[in-house]
Amino acid sequence: MSDAAGTRASRRGWLFFAVLTISLALNLFFLGVIAGSLPAMHHEGRGHDRFERIVGGMALSPPQLAAFRDFQKILRQHGAAMHRANMGVWTKIADPATGQDQLAPLLDSAVKNRDDFQHDVSGALTKFLGLLTPAQRAEFVREARATPHPHGPLHRLRELFR
């Protein structure tokens, strides 16, 4: 009997070890797949890839491409300048030494920074869209709307043209 009990225990131990090994191998495989796809998923969402995809699909002429790059440049540069300026505004607002009477002018300044940014970007976007054919314009809008950005349409546009 002791031989049979030992054989059963040995089989259970071997079976447990085999199941554990297979489970470990599957877990490592799935972790490898996930880890391998993370950089691709992160990279896929970046504006440069979206830009390349849109430009490749739209077959832009040199003047259209130049206007698009100007739009990108204005969006990036003016957006960064607006964020820097507004970070200073929000730092002053957060400062305990800032009085109640200073809040409205500071907030007005942040709004003006945003308005100036939107005005400049609108001008560059209008120039670019004006050079597109109606079909290209429709394709551009369709692509820009293809997937909603998790932070809203303005963030989607910023990433699209980064």
- Beta-carbon contacts of residue 114 (< 8 Å; ≥ 6 apart): 82, 86
Q: Which of 22-36, 76-90, 145-159 has the highest mean pLDDT?
A: 76-90
What fold does the segment set 47-160 form as a domain? Four Helix Bundle (Hemerythrin (Met), subunit A) (1.20.120)
> What average pLDDT does the segment 122-142 reach?
91
Q: What is the mean pLDDT of the chain?
A: 76
Question: Is the model more confident about 74 or about 158?
Answer: 74
Question: Which tokens belong to 60?
Answer: 């832009």
CA distance 23 to 29: 10
Sign of CA dihedral 127, 63, 144, 116: negative
Under 8 Å between Cβ of 47 and 162? yes
**Structural contact between residues 106 and 94, judged by C-beta atoms closer than 8 angstroms:** no
